[in-house]
């Protein structure tokens, strides 16, 4: 039996997230920001770094930066200053990147996460800073040679640096999802990890629980999805622990995540780290950020998800999981509220959006804006169901068909011949037919007090009507017929 207690370690995680801003033009020139254009077609002397070319600051990018900063509860700097970050890389034509070093646009913010910390308080992660910079181009490695596409060079980025406040890979995962959700409300970026408009690097160290001093840190790069961030952190925490427990020494380094092998490998150690020799960008003067500008941006912010969630719970009395799900996707929550304006039945409409609408979105891997469905059509469908013109099963069939064709609910129901006709005579005749057919069996059973037999008879009538009836209404009618 081991007698010594094992040291319990606590991970310390901080994330750096790069967000590409969805401006029309680049950070310091008029070239278009566009994904997928022919290589090197969106360039000019400024973003190619040709001698003598002078940069100019994109006002929209600064405004998007302020928007992000305010949404993350940051302070906004009183002046804008840019700095040169010097390093050499083939996709960096100038030999330096224009960034912000000692005076970031946004600082001292925080992001509240929908989870609780150990003391039961809502978990809050500090936002140390968020600064503007330009993106580099792209190196494309092909069969022994490397091609460079400079279309992306000069695209505006904001780097959001979170504080070392996350204590598990799961918290890091929640942080990223919450950050992405909140940014999606601002309309400032595509936020696509696939297209590279959202990128993340993770810093991680471990320390004995209770110790204040940070342990030796690793920075992990090449993380192409939030899932990879979580896996890489899990791996790295285990690795740190193993090194410490086996008496080894950790060295501060930058590591690459290999998703296929499920491991990180060292890219460079601290000793090899580049000295960026930051200095103020001489081609750009500093300029003031008037408080009126900041306040007008603040006024233009939408209702943010935390507030919207509380409103959905209070006003619409939704289940927490449904409210959280809807609020997680601004466009879907907007769709839901548009439908509510047409039909004031919050829980009923939510059930459809969380249920069938979501199923369609998942099946098609689409967003609500890509789905051929209007709030009007959904409300029309719910109306047909409520009026007894469709039943629960046919309503789903009609819903699927109307989304497929992009048509209204009534139109789709007619096309599929699913509308329940209120022809009482025909219905009565059908009921009589079934009673006659099963008089010695189910009907006799029902008369003998077997309630289950009624369900069987309902099923028979439904079959004859090809599903175009409401089973709930059929039951009493059949029962009355037998008993009468
Ligand atoms: Zn350009």
Does residue 99 belong to any structural domain of this protein? yes
Give the residue from 133, 108, 113 showing the smallest Cα distance to 123: 113
Q: What is the average pLDDT value for the chain, to the nearest integer?
A: 93
Regarding whether 440 and 382 lie in a shared domain, the answer is no
Query: Residue 270: phi, psi to the nearest 5?
Result: -60, -35
Q: Which two tokens stand for residue 448?
A: 């003998």
pLDDT at 272: 72
Does residue 196 belong to any structural domain of this protein? yes
Task: Pick 97 or 473 by higher pLDDT.
Answer: 97
Does residue 306 belong to any structural domain of this protein? yes
Q: Tell me the chain's radius of gyration from C-alpha atoms.
A: 30
Regarding whether 330 and 230 lie in a shared domain, the answer is no
Residue 412 binned pLDDT confidence (cut-offs 50, 70, 90): very high
Q: Which two tokens stand for residue 167?
A: 């204590």
Regarding whether 145 and 113 lie in a shared domain, the answer is yes
Does residue 182 belong to any structural domain of this protein? yes
Q: Is 43 within 8 Å of 31 (Cβ atoms)?
A: yes
Regarding whether 375 and 257 lie in a shared domain, the answer is no
pLDDT at 274: 73
Regarding whether 346 and 202 lie in a shared domain, the answer is no
Give the Å distance between the CA of 91 and the centre of ligand 1. 14
Does residue 370 belong to any structural domain of this protein? yes
Q: Which two tokens stand for residue 217?
A: 């840190």
Give the Å distance between the CA of 44 and the centre of ligand 1. 4
pLDDT at 185: 96
Give the Å distance between the CA of 471 and the centre of ligand 1. 66
Beta-carbon contacts of residue 384 (< 8 Å; ≥ 6 apart): 390, 395, 398, 409, 410, 413, 419
Give the Å distance between the CA of 274 and the centre of ligand 1. 27
40 pLDDT more than 70: yes
Give the residue from 107, 113, 219, 211 showing the smallest Cα distance to 166: 113
pLDDT at 353: 98
Among the three residues 236, 260, 294, which one is the final residue of a domain in this structure? 294
Give the Å distance between the CA of 153 and the centre of ligand 1. 8
Give the Å distance between the CA of 154 and the centre of ligand 1. 7
Q: Is the pTM of this model over 0.85?
A: no
Does residue 117 belong to any structural domain of this protein? yes
Beta-carbon contacts of residue 100 (< 8 Å; ≥ 6 apart): 80, 81, 82, 83, 131, 132, 133
46 pLDDT more than 80: yes
Regarding whether 401 and 316 lie in a shared domain, the answer is yes
Residue 27 binned pLDDT confidence (cut-offs 50, 70, 90): very high
Regarding whether 286 and 218 lie in a shared domain, the answer is yes
Beta-carbon contacts of residue 289 (< 8 Å; ≥ 6 apart): 62, 66, 76, 77, 78, 79, 80, 105
pLDDT at 4: 58
Give the Å distance between the CA of 105 and the centre of ligand 1. 23
Does residue 4 belong to any structural domain of this protein? no
Give the Å distance between the CA of 27 and the centre of ligand 1. 9
Regarding whether 94 and 156 lie in a shared domain, the answer is yes
Give the Å distance between the CA of 42 and the centre of ligand 1. 7
Give the Å distance between the CA of 57 and the centre of ligand 1. 12
Starting at the earlier edge strand, list the strands of the sheet with 279-280.
Answer: 96-99, 83-86, 279-280
Does residue 3 belong to any structural domain of this protein? no
Q: What is the CATH number of the domain that holds 466?
A: 1.10.10.410
Q: What would the pLDDT profile of 250-288 be if each residue is shown by its tens digit?
A: 999 999 999 999 999 998 887 776 789 999 999 999 999
Give the Å distance between the CA of 77 and the centre of ligand 1. 27
322 pLDDT more than 70: yes
The tally of domains found in the chain comes to 3
Q: What would the pLDDT profile of 94-153 be if each residue is shown by its tens digit?
A: 999 999 999 999 999 999 999 998 888 899 999 999 999 999 999 998 888 999 999 999
Give the Å distance between the CA of 54 and the centre of ligand 1. 10
Task: Pick 269 or 245 by higher pLDDT.
Answer: 245
pLDDT at 312: 97
Among the three residues 260, 294, 328, which one is the final residue of a domain in this structure? 294
3 pLDDT more than 60: no
2 pLDDT more than 60: no
Regarding whether 360 and 466 lie in a shared domain, the answer is no
Regarding whether 439 and 409 lie in a shared domain, the answer is no
Regarding whether 285 and 222 lie in a shared domain, the answer is yes
480 pLDDT more than 70: yes
Strands 218-223 and 253-258: parallel
Domain limits at 348? 302-415
Give the Å distance between the CA of 436 and the centre of ligand 1. 83
The full 3-state SS of the chain, as one line of letters, equals: CCCCCCCCEEEEEEEEEEEECCCCECCCCCCECCCCCCCCCCCCHHHHCCCCCCCCCCHHHHHHHHHHHHHCCCEECCEECCEEEECCCCCCCCCEEEECCCCCCEEEEEEEEEEECCCCCEEEEEEEEEEEEECCCEEEEECCEEEEECCCCCCEEEEEEECCCECCHHHHHHHHHHHHHHHHCCCCCCCCCCCCCEEEEEEEEEEECCCCCCCCCEEEEEECCHHHHHHHHHHHHHHHHHHHHCCCCCCCEEEEEECCCCEEEEEEEHHHCCCCCCEECCCCCCEECCHHHHHHHHHCCCCCHHHHHHHHHHHHCCCHHHHHHHHCCHHHHHHHHHHHHHCCCHHHHHHHHHHHHHHHHHHHCCCHHHCCCCHHHHHHHHHHHHCCCCCHHHHHHHHHHHHHHCCCHHHHHHHCCCCCCCCHHHHHHHHHHHHHHCCCCHHHHHHCCCCHHHHHHHHHHHHHCCCCCCHHHHHHHHHHHHHC
Regarding whether 160 and 28 lie in a shared domain, the answer is yes
Give the Å distance between the CA of 390 and the centre of ligand 1. 58
Among the three residues 415, 443, 470, which one is the final residue of a domain in this structure? 415
Q: Which two tokens stand for residue 267?
A: 């890219």
């Amino acid at each position: 039996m081991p007698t010594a207690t094992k040291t319990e370690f606590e991970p310390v995680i901080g994330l750096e997230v790069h967000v590409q801003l969805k401006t029309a033009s680049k950070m310091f020139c008029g070239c278009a920001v566009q994904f997928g254009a022919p290589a090197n077609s969106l360039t000019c002397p400024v973003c190619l770094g040709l001698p003598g070319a002078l940069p100019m600051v994109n006002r929209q990018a600064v405004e998007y930066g302020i928007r992000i900063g305010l949404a993350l509860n940051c302070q906004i700097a009183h002046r804008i200053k840019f700095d040169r970050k010097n390093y050499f890389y083939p996709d960096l034509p100038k030999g330096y990147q224009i960034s912000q070093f000692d005076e970031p646009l946004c600082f001292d913010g925080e992001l509240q996460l929908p989870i609780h910390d150990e003391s039961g308080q809502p978990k809050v992660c500090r936002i140390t800073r968020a600064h503007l910079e330009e993106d580099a181009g792209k190196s494309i490695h092909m069969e022994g040679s490397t091609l460079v596409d400079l279309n992306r060079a000069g695209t505006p980025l904001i780097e959001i640096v979170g504080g070392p406040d996350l204590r598990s890979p799961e918290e890091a995962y929640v942080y990223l999802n919450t950050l992405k959700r909140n940014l999606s409300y601002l309309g400032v970026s595509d936020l696509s990890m696939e297209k590279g408009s959202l990128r993340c690097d993770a810093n991680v160290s471990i320390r004995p629980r209770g110790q204040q001093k940070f342990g030796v840190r690793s920075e992990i790069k090449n993380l192409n999805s939030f899932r990879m961030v979580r896996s890489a952190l899990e791996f790295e925490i285990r690795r740190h622990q193993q090194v410490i427990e086996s008496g080894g020494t950790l060295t501060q380094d930058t590591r690459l995540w290999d998703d296929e092998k499920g491991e990180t490998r060292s890219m460079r150690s601290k000793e090899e780290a580049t000295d960026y020799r930051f200095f103020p960008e001489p081609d750009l003067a500093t300029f003031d950020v008037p408080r009126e500008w900041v306040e007008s941006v603040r006024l233009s912010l939408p209702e943010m998800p935390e507030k919207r969630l509380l409103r959905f719970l209070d006003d619409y009395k939704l289940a927490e999981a449904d409210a959280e799900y809807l609020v997680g996707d601004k466009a879907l929550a907007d769709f839901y509220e548009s439908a509510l304006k047409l039909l004031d039945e919050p829980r009923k409409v939510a059930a459809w959006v969380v249920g069938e609408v979501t199923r369609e979105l998942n099946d098609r891997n689409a967003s609500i804006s890509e789905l051929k469905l209007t709030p009007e059509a959904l409300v029309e469908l719910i109306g047909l169901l409520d009026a007894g013109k469709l039943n629960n099963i046919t309503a789903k069939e009609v819903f699927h068909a109307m989304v497929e064709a992009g048509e209204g609910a009534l139109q789709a129901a007619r096309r599929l011949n699913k509308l329940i006709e209120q022809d009482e005579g025909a219905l009565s005749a059908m009921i009589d037919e079934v009673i006659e057919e099963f008089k010695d069996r189910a009907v006799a059973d029902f008369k003998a007090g077997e309630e289950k037999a009624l369900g069987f008879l309902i099923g028979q009538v439904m079959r004859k009507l090809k599903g175009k009836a409401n089973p709930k209404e059929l039951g009493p009618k059949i029962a009355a017929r037998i008993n009468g």
